[in-house]
Amino acid sequence: MAEPAFPLFGRRFVGRGAFLTLERRYHLGPEARWTARDVVRHPGSVALVPWDGEAVHLMRQYRSAVGEAVLELPAGKRDVPGEDPAATAERECAEELGLRPGRLTLLHRAYLSPGFTDEMIWIFLAEDLEAVPAAPQGLEEQAATPVALPLEAALAAVAGGEICDAKTILGLDSLARRLGR
């Protein structure tokens, strides 16, 4: 059975934030029914699974949207126009953790929440880590705490609900599958 088409008939700019825009999109759906959807436009993001062969390097960082610190992979938005996602990932890992990956492998490209945003994330495995000076950007990154966990402990934190960030769960699961665990 063919999926119903939802032709776009118009859009209206609603607002702009520091790096996001909000637009209202008007579609004609099945049975000639009109619908309007609000869409958050996002430049895209990257996340890394920094793996040193023994531990995964995570960050515990305050996230205003959920009002608490979240244990998660180092990540950041693609805020340099035209920059390759791998270059963004390498920069973010060095800035946030003080670790420069010698090797990056793309694990996944995924929409994080396609019900309301076009944000695409590139998740990389980061290996052959070299210590470099960290250069955290913004107050939350400056106050963040690096956390190194053996993979089994990180997976237990997912199972126990301590890690509830989708990109982190996807990245850790990908590493575990890659290692046959």
Sheet with 99-111, side-by-side order of all strands: 75-77, 45-50, 120-131, 99-111
- pLDDT, residue 151, reads 97
Indicate if 13 and 61 belong to the same structural domain.
Answer: no
Give the model's pLDDT for residue 181: 86
Over residues 88-133, the pLDDT tens digits come to 999 999 999 999 999 999 999 999 999 999 999 999 999 999 999 8
What pLDDT is recorded for position 179?
94
pTM over 0.85: yes
Q: Is residue 154 part of a domain?
A: yes
Task: Select the more confidently predicted residue: 18 or 125.
Answer: 125
Q: Give tens-digit pLDDT for 117-173.
A: 999 999 999 999 999 988 888 888 888 899 999 999 999 999 999 999 999 999 999
The total number of structural domains in the chain stands at 2
pLDDT value of position 20: 85
Mean confidence (pLDDT) of the chain: 93
Say if residue 25 is in the same domain as residue 67: no
39 pLDDT higher than 90: yes
pLDDT single digits (tens) 48-59? 999 999 999 999
The predicted structure's pLDDT at residue 4: 65
Tell me what percent of the residues of the chain surpass a pLDDT of 70.
Answer: 98
Per-residue confidence at 1, pLDDT binned at 50, 70, 90? low
**Whole-number percent of the chain with pLDDT over 90:** 78
**92 is a catalytic site residue:** no
Is there a domain that residue 3 lies in? Answer: no
Asked whether residue 100 is assigned to any structural domain, the reply reads: yes
Catalytic residue, candidates 23, 72, 140, 152: 140
24 and 99 assigned to the same domain: no
Regarding whether 64 and 32 lie in a shared domain, the answer is no
Range of the domain at 13: 8-41
CATH of the domain at 79: 3.90.79.10
* Same domain assignment for residues 62 and 128: yes
Same domain, 13 and 31: yes
How many residues are given for the chain?
Answer: 181
